[in-house]
Amino acid sequence: MLTQMNIRGLLFDPYSNAYIVILRDEQNSDVLPIWVGKSEANAISFALENVTPPRPMTHDLMKSILDNVGAKILSAVVSDLNNNTYYAKIHLWYGDSEYAIDSRPSDAIALALRAEAPIFTNEEVLHKQNSEELERWLENLTPEDFGKFET
């Protein structure tokens, strides 16, 4: 069972010096935070803000190749979560067949946004995320973090 996810924001995490893409389902009952690198965050933010860079960025090139040969991007699916690593698939239509190609979620999302294709995840990932996320959150807390909440 797939759940459609929308991008609710892109945050900077100063602790890991990485960016976090926040995906939320339509009812806003589930949240999927996905850590991505700086250049992938850039690629996602350009698409979110409809910025056309003067030269094609890597994901623009990816879309341009697919457009040139008549391949259609159907969807991006965040398909698995293992040891804090998310996995995704890009679903394509080319010729008369459907293809599902393994990808990092950041690439799949950056590409789906450019093609205005929907982003999905499944219940298993949402369920795993709820348990793994709390664990990681607790592990990463340091005494200094607690200090911040004192007023």
**Interacting residues with another protein between 111 and 150 (CB under 8 A):** none
Residue 145 CB, nearest distance to another protein (Å)? 27
Sheet of 85-94: strand order equals 31-36, 18-25, 2-13, 119-122, 72-82, 85-94, 97-103
- In angstroms, how far is CA 49 from the centroid of its own chain? 16
Instruction: Pick between residue 21 and residue 30 the one whose CB is nearest to another protein.
Output: 21
**Does 20 participate in binding another protein (rule CB under 8 A)?**
no
Strands (E), the chain: 2-13, 18-25, 31-36, 72-82, 85-94, 97-103, 119-122
**Interacting residues with another protein between 22 and 51 (CB under 8 A):** 37-40, 43
* Contacting positions for another protein (CB under 8 A): 37-40, 43, 54-59, 61-62, 64-66, 68-69, 71, 85, 90, 92, 94-95, 99, 101-104, 107
